[in-house]
Amino acid sequence: MTGPELRKLRDHLGEALGRKLTVADMAKLCGLPAAGGAEKLRKWEVTGPIPKVAGLLRVLAMASEHYPILEKFDVFDRHDVPVKERAARREAFRAQIRDDVRKRLD
């Protein structure tokens, strides 16, 4: 994940949650400490985050329709899930991820 991709992710997550996310919000999602976390995130918005944080953000990105559901989480396209139920299950999964993001921000 590059710095510009991280900035775009902040916008997309904010859109999915229905509110604008601040740099401090994103720092909190990344697990950065309150003191200095926002500054670290601003640097990452230029250089890109460390791989461990990028992995976490890829998971949280699934809250937004702009990002695909990662293959290891995609249990909707299996043969035992009826085709007409797949879209609803995907949306329920994204709603669950959005709830998780909100909990992380509280």
State the pTM of this model.
0.86
Judge residue 56's burial from the number of C-beta atoms within 10 Å of its C-beta, 0-12 exposed, 13-18 middle, 19 or more buried: middle
Which CA distances in Å does 87 have to 45, 68, 74, 94?
Answer: 33, 13, 12, 11
pLDDT, residue 74, reads 75
Per-residue pLDDT of the chain (106 residues; tens, 9 = 90+): 999 999 999 999 999 999 999 999 999 999 999 889 999 999 999 999 999 999 999 999 999 999 998 888 877 767 777 888 888 888 999 999 999 999 999 8
pLDDT, residue 21, reads 95
Domain spans of the chain, in order of start = 3-105
Q: What is the largest CA-CA distance in the chain?
A: 48
pLDDT, residue 6, reads 96
Enter the tokens of residue 15. 């859109």
pLDDT, residue 82, reads 83
